[in-house]
Amino acid sequence: MINVFLDDLRPCPKGFVAARSAEECLLLLAECEVNVLSLDYELGYGQPNGSAVVRGLIAGGRYPRQVYVHSSSPSGRALMVRLLREAGPPGVAICDGPMPDHVLGEAAEAAKTAAAAAAKRAAEERLAGDERDR
């Protein structure tokens, strides 16, 4: 399970996968199970905006567990939150605003734990390979 941060300019927080365009975000949402999704509205001149992602979520019926709308565009943020709340996906927390510190901290800690587990598995595989080579 991953966390996705859609924004064309802001740095991606630890524990999140950066999506820099609506298309990239929709691809991640289609291919991966997503826990937390944080959305920006303005994604560059002439580019599809965050509401394209929201409409794609609604059309596909596949939602993350939590959605935060961190956009600094008041009208864009209001539109995305309204569309999500009207769709009323069951079990999905829809939050009008940026992620609170505890969500960011949990994501960073989960990423650190996953990285440590992956490093441990890699070391165990190397050891097993060394023992087979003897």
pLDDT at 43: 97
User: How do residues 80-128 score in pLDDT, each as one tens digit?
Assistant: 999 999 998 899 999 999 999 999 999 999 988 877 777 778 777 777 7
Nearest-10 crossing angle of helices 50-60, 22-31? 30
The whole-number average pLDDT for the span 29-55 is: 96
The identity of residue 5, as a single letter, is F
pTM: 0.87
* pLDDT for the residue 134: 65
**Mean pLDDT for the chain?**
92
**Contact yes or no for 83/94 (Cβ under 8 A):** no
Helix (H, G, I), strand (E, B) or coil at 25: helix
pLDDT at residue 131 tops 70: no
**21-60 in b/e burial notation, b at 16+ Cβ within 10 A?**
bbebbbebbeeeebbbbbbbbebeeeebbbbbbbbbbbee
pLDDT of residue 130: 65
- Which residues touch 44 (CB under 8 Å, ≥6 apart)? 8, 21
| pLDDT at 88 (0 to 100) | 86
State the pLDDT at residue 113. Answer: 85
Which residues contact residue 32 at a Cβ distance below 8 angstroms, ignoring those fewer than 6 apart?
1, 2, 4
Mean local confidence (pLDDT), 18-25: 97
Domains and CATH numbers, the chain: 2-133 (3.40.50)
Is residue 14's pLDDT more than 80? yes
Q: How many residues does the chain have?
A: 134
